[in-house]
Amino acid sequence: MKKLISFTLLSCFIGVLTGFAQSSVKFNKDAFQRNLIGQHGITLQWVGWENKGIVKITKDGELLRIKGEQKSKENQTDIVSIDGTLEVISDKEIKFSGQIITTVSYNNGGAPCEKNGIYTFKKTGNRRYWRLQEMQNCDGVVVDYVDLYF
């Protein structure tokens, strides 16, 4: 009985320490934003995951600006471009404000799909990228996986 009580107390103590250790790790938004500044990859699945495009994230006063594109190696028409600002919500979520244009010869009748406004990029699991959450293409049929790599 004495061993059972000791084991129970030890288990409770370890549980409290583990919970404390996990809750003491805090998200540092400023450090995260500093790490975003620089060059990163961008992909649209229709253009290809192997040949990443490049986006540049810069700091302009209090704003994080993002601009870049990915172009197809197979043709001149398939492209994704992004131009706007970012707001870090957490290490798993970024708000984007601006314009994203996807053009793929066999989607949306080959016409550009322009998205203007505020959109969300999220990171899930162990992925090394954030994915645009508003995925529906302008044609209303296919989805576009626009990914930003870090």
Specify the CATH number for the domain of residue 70: 2.40.128
Predicted local confidence at residue 27, as pLDDT: 77
Predicted local confidence at residue 67, as pLDDT: 98
What SS3 state is found at 15?
helix
* Within a domain: 140: yes
Q: Which structural domain range is residue 46 located in?
A: 29-149
Predicted local confidence at residue 31, as pLDDT: 85
Predicted local confidence at residue 2, as pLDDT: 54
* Predicted TM-score (pTM) of this structure: 0.81
* Within a domain: 24: no
* Within a domain: 16: no
As for how many domains the chain has, the answer is 1
* Within a domain: 18: no
* Within a domain: 2: no
What SS3 state is found at 132?
strand
* Within a domain: 138: yes
* Within a domain: 20: no
Contact present, 89 and 114 (Cβ < 8 Å): no
Task: Give, for all 150 residues of the chain, the pLDDT tens digit.
Answer: 555 444 444 454 445 444 444 445 677 888 888 889 999 999 999 999 999 999 999 999 989 999 999 999 999 899 999 999 999 999 999 999 999 999 999 999 999 999 999 999 999 999 999 999 999 999 999 999 999 998
Among the residues of 25-137, which ranges form H helices? Answer: 29-36
For CA atoms 111, 53, 94, 37, give the dihedral sign: negative
* Within a domain: 48: yes
